[in-house]
Structures are given as C-alpha cells and as structure tokens.
Structure 1
Amino acid sequence: MIKTLLLGTFIISMLTGFGFIPAILSFCRKKNLYDMPDERKVHHAAIPRLGGISFLPSMLLAAVIMLLAFESLTGVRKVTMSVWTVSFLISLLIIYVVGIVDDIVGLGARTKFFFQIVAASLLPLSGLYVNNLYGFCGIHEIPFYVGFPLTVLCIAFIDNAMNLIDGIDGLSGGLALVALAGFMYGFYCIELYVYCVMIAGLMGIIIAYMYYNIFGSVARGLKIFMGDSGSLTLGFMLSFFIVKFSMNRPDFIPEGRYFLNLFGNPMAYEKICLVYAYTLLIVPVFDVFRVIFVRLYHHTPIFNPDKRHIHHKMLAAGLTQHQALFAILGIQLMFMVVNGLLVPHLDITLIVLLDILLFMGINVVITHRINGRKKQPV
C-alpha cells in the first residue's frame, strides 16, 4: 500500500508539472522574464527562468491528494500537525517566496542569505537540529547551543550549494534526483513514510522540469530554467532531509533499527545515518567549499559569482554540457559507492578525510586537462 501511495504521488506531481510548466513558459513570454546570457553563463540565448515556481505547488498538491486518499481507504492518519510541521512549512514558504522575488525583480546575495538564516533558524527553534555527530572528530552528542548555529549554517550552506551548482542543463535537478532517491530509500527503511511521500512528489515535478530543461527547444520556446525559486527550494528541502535523517531521536527511530546499505549489509541506523545523509550531497557541498577557499586565496569576495565551479571546469576541459552533466552525476554516484564500501570498516572522520582527498584528486585531474588544452596549438 505504501508503494502505491508513493507511485501515485510521483505520477500526480509529474503530470501536474507537465501541465504547469507550459503555463509558466507562456507567462514568461508575456512578461518578458528571461535569464539573459552573459560572460559567466554558458547559455547563449534568453531562456525563461521561472521553472522552479512549479516545484512546491506540484509537490504539495500530489502529497495532499494521495495522503487524503490513503487515509480514506485505510482509516490510518499519516500526517499530524506539530510544531516541526508548522515551522518547516513556514520556513519553506519563506525560501520559496524569496526565490520567486529574486527571479522576477532580483535580490542581492546578502539579502537572500539573511532570509535563508531566518528560515533555517525556525527549525532548531522548533526542536529540529543536529544533536549528534556520531563520532566525527571524536564528537558525539552536542548541546542545543552548539547544534542551533551548526544546523542553521548547514541549512544555509546546502541551500546555497544547490543554487550555485545550477549552472548547466539538468545538473541541479539531476543531483537533487540522486539525493532524493537516496533519502527516500533511507526514510522508507526506517518507516518514516510521510517524508517518502514528500520526496516522491518532489521527484515527480523534477522529472517534468528536466524534460523541458534538457530537451526543450529554444526555437519553439519550450526550454526553461528553474531559477532561484527552484534551486533554493530544492536546497532547503534537501538540507531539511539531512537534518531530519541524521538527528538522533530514539523516540522516533528506536535504537538498534537496521536498514541495508548500498551492498545489502544490514547496519544499525545510528552507525550509518550521518555518513549516509552527507554522502548524498557530497558534490555540491564539496564544490562550494572548494570555491570559497579559492576565492579567499585570491582575495575575492565569497559572494561574487565566477566560473570556478566544477561544471565550469568540466566545460573548460572540453566536455559538452551533457557530457559534463553525466560526468558530475557519475562522480556523485561514485562517492555513494565508495562510502557504502567504507562505512562498515572506518569511522566517519576517516571517511570524510578520504572523501576530501578523492575530491581534490578529481579536481587536480580536471585542472591538468584544462592546462593541457591551453597548451595545445590553435
């Protein structure tokens, strides 16, 4: 029954997206709302940028319809309004509105960051925060006064990471799909099915969006970008799932509950949860860390946009947009496989260190390829 609920949510959301996005395209044409090409962007034509407006309504509509249908058929109530629920919905709405305003009239990076901090702060204030690092750097349980700022910074950072990596067709959406599939599996294994329903709804609308984003014809006016309304919404949702999945709550997730890792080995939830959650977003998170360090090294403001992100480097190395997309998705999947192999044998600190070294090595290889291309005779 749960699988039917998830499939129905996915299909309704996807079909809603296929109906919603053409209407957004028409609205953008009438109001002249386009993402214009410049020296930092890789597209060469004016493209509508409001695709992300469809994400939140499609997800919520599909989830509500299927949850009500499930309750009607089974008599089992799967959703209850709690302080967490209300805080999450208010925070999500703040991020969604900020993204829309930025897409239509434009907002400065510091203004967006301020609202991200406000939205993120509502979650720990309602009791949802990172309260255990499970041995990372020798740290286990952490108090609220440490978990509060840590949670806020993590949410704002991931939100910006998904926004900043949205630089080529399908990349932000593709990375989000990979992460969402992983979170759905994780929440399903620990029987938190309401989150699986939300994820199914989000995955459905992303599939519809990616069809227009990757395969939509510019000449026919069918191509669209998600804009900040989409990337910020995705980033906030994914950061919420990371905090929720990795939070230590024995009352919700009984101690000793097991689920399967990537290779079928049963492992305790407490052993794998933080590694599992962070692994699903390694590429966008590590990429933003790397870019920040490079900007600091070159004494440039960290909020200034540039062409130092991994997708820019892939293009500079000679890959096409589609090749870069599949290469970056492949890197993300590789990290998931590697960490799935390592987590039964190493503690989280060593795993993170090895991940950093591997990511640095990948970037060294890409940089070497770029330098080699520059030396080639024209």
Structure 2
Amino acid sequence: MFVYLEFTPLFMAFFVAALLIVIMNPVAHQWGLVDQPDVRKAHKGIIPLTGGLAMFFSILVSSLATDVWLKNDPMFFTAASFIVLLGMLDDRFDLSPKGRLICQFGVAAIMAWSAQNYVTSLGNIVGLGDMSLGFEGYVFTLIAVVGVINAFNMIDGIDGLAGGMSLVVLLALVLLLLLSNNGAEIMGPMLVIAALVPFLAFNLSIKGFKGNKIFMGDSGSMFIGLTIVWLLVEYTQGANPSMRPITAVWLVGLPLMDMAAIMYRRAKKGQSMLRPDKQHLHFIFMRAGLSQNATLIVILLIGVVYAAIGILGELFAIPEYIMFWSFIGVLFLYSFIIQNIWVVLRKLRRVSRA
C-alpha cells in the first residue's frame, strides 16, 4: 500500500482542512452558515456549517498544488463546486426540496454527460449475462448520483455519522483497489480520507481538537455523496474495472437502504418523500434508549458489515446475481423491520426478559 501513497498531498489536505475549519468559524457566523437547535436538532449552541467547505477546498488545493488526483479531469471539481454552492445556499436559506432536487440532477448531468463518467454496464446482476446500457446508462447514472447524494445527506443526523459512514466506504474502496491490483488508484479516496479525518476530529470534539465544534452541513454531506458516487462509477466501469457494480452497491448499502425505507414510509403515509422527520435509523436507536455515541458506533458497525459483504463477494467472486438478489432481500427485510420497529423492539425486550 505504501508504495502507492504520496504523503505530501495527504498531509496538505489534512492540514489545510484543519486550518480552514478554525479560520471559517467566525466567517460562518457572519454569513449565517450556522445550525441552531430546534425540535429535530438536539445539539447545544450555534454550530458552524462550514465543514463541507473546508473539506472541498482542502482537496482542491491539495490536488492543484501536487497534481495528484483528477489532474486530467477538471469536471469533477466543476460538479463539486456546484454541489457545494447548492449545499451552502440550502444551509443558509433552506431551499425547497424540489428546487434542490432539480439542481442535483443538473450536477449529475455534468458528471454523466460532460465528464462522460456514467454507467455503461450493470454486470450480470440477474443471471442472464452482462447487462449493458446505451443511452439509458445516462439516465440510470442521473438517478444513481442523485440517490447517493441524498442518501448521505439524509444520514447526516448525529455527530460523526455521515463522516464516519463516508470513512467506512472510502476505506473499503481503498482495500478493494489494493486487492484488485489497482493500488495506483488509491490516492483519490485517500485524499478525501485525509480531508475527512480533521473534520471528524473537530466534529466529535476529540481530545486536542476541542473548542471548534463544526458540522459538515448540506454542502459537506452532498459533496461527500457526489465524491463517493463519482469514484464508484469510475472504478466499476470501463474496459478494466477495479470491481463489479454490485460490489459498489453493497459499499453504500446502508445509507441507500435507510433512504429507501424512509421514502417508502413517507409515501405510504401520503407525505412528501423529501420532507425531513425523526424516523431515520439514528433517531430510532436513540428513542430505543441508546446514547448518541452508542448509536454512532452501532450504525457504523452495521455499515462495516455491509461493506464487508461487498468485499467478500468481490474477493470470492460470488456470482453477481446472488449478490444482487441478496441485496434486494436485505432491503425488503430492512424496510419491514423499520416499518414495524417498535413492535420488533417490544418482542425483543420480552424475549430478553424471559
């Protein structure tokens, strides 16, 4: 692994992110990019929402200064700039869900059409041979990009969750690249990891990083979502992909399932599927009695299990259709449990007392 690492850009991304987090604290208050406690948000005090900005600029500065990542593809930073701007406006003015969705599709179009980073094959996911996509691949990519962006945006509900889940996915991606003898490609995810680590340290108020509490905001969660889906599409498509498409789905499986279950429940109740509520997985765990830290650990461990299934499926070449239908089965089971979570919890408590 160390053969492929370039430490200068990684240290630069880390220190620029840490520096910007501190510098942007007063700027966030001046611009109104702050989060205040309300019915859905139980944090204390007014917290800056500039973590995403710090991560974006640290990756941009490091990439330009060292010419290490996407040096021949400026379209990533074009798309990322728009998604970060969209997130900032949403953090500041609370944009309408429909308007935000339209803009996200616009960013996805930059990735699919302008950068030509789109899904051309889904692999043998149904057992009838490789499922190649023509023009419909562009449409599929638009939906996939917007889905992943919103999955990471929706899961950003407690300290460390969106960042921690991103870290799990990116580390799994690095491992898969190394296992597939594509170690030369790891600097992409590693650069994002280097920018994520100082954010998580400040966000979780780890010793030595206390005093500058910060959230990533919608700009951060959407930027991370875009970055992850960009990398996943890039590494699963082309003549010599580093992994199979279904493996990528498992890596981001938990955020996708949580989003799908929530949207289904809202639609079933006749509510807007984009309307925020307190029915996400982290809220359920906390209402069930877990502390915020325990909730974070449990959900991240579940995310690790999903990623491990994807890695093992790739490592042992488990047929893609088995991996796909297993994912669908887990999705239905997950959705059923979430729809009936309080009944399930009552039964588990009765069993534990017996």
Q: What TM-score bracket applies, with the shorter chain setting the length?
A: 0.7 to 0.9
Deviations 1:59-104 (A, max 9, x none): 1222333446xxxxxxxxx8653xxx24333212211111122223
Which amino acid in 2 is paired with 1:160? N
The 3-state SS of whatever aligns with 1:133 is coil
SS of the residue 2:164 aligns to:
helix
Say how many residue pairs are matched. Answer: 342
| Alignment partners' CA distance in 1, 2:70 and 2:108 | 22
Quickly say closer, same or farther: Cα 1:62–1:190, change in 2 above 3 A: farther
Deviates more, 1:279-288 or 1:120-129: 120-129
Asked whether 1:196 is paired with 2:167, we answer no
Summarize the alignment of residues 58-207 of structure 1 with structure 2, pairs less than 5 Å apart: 58-67=58-67, 81=72, 85-126=73-114, 127-137=116-126, 138=128, 140-189=130-179, 195-207=185-197
Distance of aligned partners of 1:340 and 1:86 in 2 relative to their CA distance in 1, 3 Å threshold? closer
Q: Structure 2: which 5+ residue stretches go unaligned?
A: none
Q: Give the C-alpha shift of residue 34 in structure 1.
A: 2.0
Is this contact kept in 2: 1:279–1:339, CA < 8 A? yes
**Distance of aligned partners of 1:353 and 1:361 in 2 relative to their CA distance in 1, 3 Å threshold:** same
- The more displaced of 131-140 and 109-118 is 131-140
Do the aligned partners of residues 170 and 311 (structure 1) sit closer, same or farther apart at CA in structure 2, a change above 3 Å counting? same
Give me the whole-angstrom Cα distance separating, in 1, the residues matched to 2:13 and 2:3.
15
- Amino acid corresponding to residue 79 of structure 2 in structure 1: S
Structure 2 equivalent of residue 292 of structure 1: 263
Task: Give the 3 Å change call, closer, same or farther, for CA 59–193 of structure 1 in structure 2.
Answer: farther
* Cα shift at 1:282: 0.8
Q: 325, 330, 333: which is aligned to 2:304?
A: 333
- Is 2:12 the counterpart of 1:12? yes
For 1:121 and 1:25, the matched residues in 2 are separated by 33
8 Å contact kept, 1:37–1:46: yes
> How far apart are residue 222 of structure 1 and its match?
1.7
Tell me: CA distance 1:89–1:363, structure 2 relative to 1, closer, same or farther (3 Å).
Answer: same
Give, as a single letter, the amino acid of the residue that structure 1 aligns with 2:307: M
The correspondence for 2:272, drawn from 296, 301, 305, is 301
One-letter amino acid of the structure 1 residue matched with residue 265 of structure 2: V
In structure 2, distance between residues paired with 1:123 and 1:79: 13
Partner of 1:237: 227
CA contact (8 A) 2:250 2:327 kept: no
- Whether the aligned pair in 1 keeps the contact of 2:4 and 2:184 (CA below 8 Å) is no
**Pick aligned residue for 1:273 from 244, 252, 267:** 244
Partner residue in 1 for 2:324: 349
**SS of alignment partner, residue 136 of structure 1:** coil
* Aligned residue type for 1:151: T
Maintained 8 Å contact 1:58/1:201: no
Matched, 1:313 2:303: no
When normalised by structure 1's length, the TM-score is 0.81
Alpha-carbon distance between aligned partners in 2 of 1:45 and 1:368, rounded to the nearest angstrom: 35
**CA shift at 1:319, angstroms?**
0.9
Deviates more, 1:275-284 or 1:194-203: 194-203
Q: Amino acid of the residue matched to residue 272 of structure 2? A: P
The aligned counterpart of 1:74 is: none
* Offset of residue 119 of structure 1: 1.1
Q: 5+ unaligned residues in a row in structure 1: which ranges?
A: 69-77, 255-268
SS at match of 1:207: helix
Give 1:221 deviation, angstroms.
5.0
Q: Offset at 1:371?
A: 4.8
Q: SS at 1:64's partner residue?
A: helix
Structure 1 residue identity aligned to 2:92: I
For 1:274 and 1:104, the matched residues in 2 are separated by 36
Cα RMSD (Å): 2.9
Given that 1:63 and 1:197 are in contact with CA atoms closer than 8 Å, whether structure 2 keeps it comes out as no
Question: How far has the Cα of 1:152 moved from its partner?
Answer: 0.3
AA aligned opposite 2:117: L
Deviation at 1:341, TM superposition (A): 4.3
